[in-house]
Chain A
């Protein structure tokens, strides 16, 4: 039998873990967010690898990512096919060879929350990030790593956790782990025009 005092100390430890650790790191998260917020426009190249249960081999793609503060994200896939995803706070536009599909985010609540995992980090919008995700910060400045777990139960059905890591105000890696274990790893580089030709 486990004695009462052991349980008590375990509970205390849990409470400590819940309150003290996050507050200790809160200042660093805020600092990171402030640094991110200062960058109003980014253009980077990316390479992405998807490992999926339904696929026998992983899927590779690459392209360019653009962010315009406060809410516009443009993902231009260059390989294997050209496609563009333009998203802001209102709508998602999918551009496939000039053929546009416009979708209101009002009808895609999950996508909206999902996009916040990336957008609110770039925008340094800690309030929004906190609203939708529980945040765990690690790493030694200037290197950093954020692990985001969806608070939204509907989103949690699809996505287990997200990881963003980088140095200073640069995001270098964005990993999405789906609830079935599928993994998406997106590596971000300084904009390289060669990749995009």
Chain B
């Protein structure tokens, strides 16, 4: 090669890599927000579901408990700490709300509610003020006078003989009062424990923000705790997100360090030359750099998951320099070796790129990033191997190593067809006895099974959640409308349906904005049900016949009803700053498209039946959102799409092979072991009792990529018998390195890493063994 050309190539790559590095260092943001990795959603329900996952209240909710030692003496201490923690967290600005005790209705709000009691009363009927009903109510009040507390209740009696206020305040306070409290702080003396609920300002999908919130909770508690011996328990969905990311990060870091050390050591063992070892890392390094730069240029940022998966998929490029160096030992010129292997390598890269590129046109933004990333990385690594490596080093010490001879003589053994036959028999048996061996679902339905969150944490969360009486995080109802009034009206229409669900024991209770504040329409309707003063006065006189009440006692009642008839309507703005106003803020949200209401469900027993019931009601803009099954459906849809695309890509790859190899039989010989290896890689996790998920699927793509390289190189032996030893040896080295790296992942406790590891490791074995067996030269002895 000419010196000028060498310099030009070096300079070209240098400029390109420097630019990529600059782009990465200056302009690349790594996104950790899981939401941006998610697909865009195909229909309205899917979009709402995703909105819920990204913005929903459940994903922001922290459950906090402060416990002391199991004695009551430091109860005051615990209560004090709860108050102090709540105050500091509120002041931190990281939380939209921090609640540590029952929401008591204060006197000024109570007075306002009292004034509006006849408009707020949802039990009002046409005949609520009939003589019969009034008389029944008066008799009941008389019976209640036998209470030890009549000193207090009698004053209410004259202005509210039908006990409407009691109904209204019971209704508003819901089932909250069952939680034990002391000094307005949720505190259980039995457990010597105070409870708090905090809601993050940032959406749950922003894990960085959640981590910040978590650290703030910990540090604030440390300060408030001082030197007492109380302890803190934190739980909730945002913690799970933080914990999951942390454990994946930690374990990936450890594993990649281990894999890196192994690769360096292994390369050194094979090449016995430091320069070659360093150079062997160049293609993948350059691939990663330019791929990252390309994605950040195209998308504005790169997702953390894209990066992690991308590095995995680019693992295939580790093989390129290995092939080059081993071939160069024979030709003793790197340039010549590059020219020699290029036709085979090119076809391998091209077909693998097609497989990876299949991901680009999905509406799953994270995966389309991954498609671009792996495509760019792959092509870069191949071009570096073809052009830059020969321009950096002229030759490789030309000797067949002892290792190479040993390996090849081993491969000439009589048993050489055994592994391949064993693999085929295994697959045949698995497929024939499919029902018997794989009695469970092939596809994983449960996305939660992927979560690396320890079960103790989930258990603890469940306990705290139930002791706080919190609604289900798995499902809710969304009601959309043009304005608050519209949403309230729709929620009121839905109410009978939900009450039916309670009667049928599908749920135990629900919480909606309309339960706190009736629509103006309803308030108006209730006003028309109130009788005028004269009518009411006459009816009261009739109702009081024969009862011991003194005449004229009920003037306050007559005044109140009369006043209610002309009262202005109660609107959310009138309740701002009160606990009901705060609760309404949590249940109604305003956006550019209008107002959206959420209905929380408690004690969910039968999700499917409830969903059917709500669907059957056919109320417009009312959506039942089942977060768990919805997410699973979403994943299922995506999987279907991926599988279809893979089928098409397989056809295209076959066409490319036909054009490249110009031989039908040979193309089939190349593609068959690849497909079988993919099948085997899918069967192994199934045999181990694991249903397949998205991560297995991505791993299968890598198996296909590796398999294509192996099959093409084995197949190339036919054209060049002299090189049989070199080709075979370099494939042995390549597959051993991939096998070890992915086997490491397979032993990880983290489901995602384990899934990738087990799939790729078994795929590598199968791809190597089968490509070898299917290559035309299998029966011939390999010349050492």
Contacts and interface: CB of A to CB of B under 8 A. Distances in A.
Interface of A: 48, 50, 52-57, 59, 61, 63, 75, 77, 80-81, 83, 85, 90, 94, 102-104, 106-107, 110-111, 114-115, 158-159, 176, 178, 182, 184
B157 A114 contact: no
A107 B145 contact: no
A81 B143 contact: yes
Contacts of A63: 146
Closest 6 CB pairs of A and B: A61-B146, A54-B553, A104-B177, A81-B143, A55-B548, A77-B146
A56 B145 contact: no
A50 B145 contact: yes
Given A54-B550, A54-B553, A104-B102, A85 B147 contact: yes
A59 B146 contact: yes
B549 A103 contact: no
Contacts of A184: 150-151
Contact of A81 (B146, B148, B178, B181): B146
A59 B549 contact: no
Contacts of B150: 50, 52, 184
B511 interface: no
B151 A104 contact: no
30 contacts: A48-B146, A50-B150, A54-B549, A55-B549, A56-B550, A59-B146, A59-B548, A61-B146, A63-B146, A75-B148, A77-B146, A80-B146, A81-B146, A83-B143, A85-B147, A102-B177, A102-B178, A103-B177, A104-B177, A106-B177, A106-B184, A110-B152, A111-B152, A114-B149, A114-B152, A176-B151, A178-B151, A178-B154, A182-B154, A184-B150
B438 interface: no
B74 interface: no
B152 A104 contact: no
Interface string B86-124: 000000000000000010100000000000000000000
Contact of A54 (B104, B143, B154, B182): B154
A37 B152 CA distance: 29
Contacts, number: 76
A115 B149 CA distance: 9
Contacts of B553: 54
B151 A59 contact: no
A59 B157 contact: no
Nearest to A53: B550
A176 to B, nearest CB: 6
B156 to A, nearest CB: 11
Interface residues of B, number: 28
Nearest to A186: B148
A106 B142 CA distance: 26
A36 to B, nearest CB: 19
Contacts of A81: 143, 146
Interface string B161-195: 00000000000010001101110100000000000
A107 B148 CA distance: 17
B396 to A, nearest CB: 82
Contact of A106 (B143, B144, B181): B181
Contact of A56 (B147, B180, B548): B548
Contact of B146 (A57, A83, A111): A83
A164 to B, nearest CB: 14
B158 interface: yes
A110 B184 CA distance: 15
A74 to B, nearest CB: 11
Contacts of B173: 107
A67 to B, nearest CB: 13
A173 B154 CA distance: 22
Nearest to A87: B148
Contacts of A75: 148
B104 A107 contact: yes
Contacts of B155: 158
A181 B319 CA distance: 99
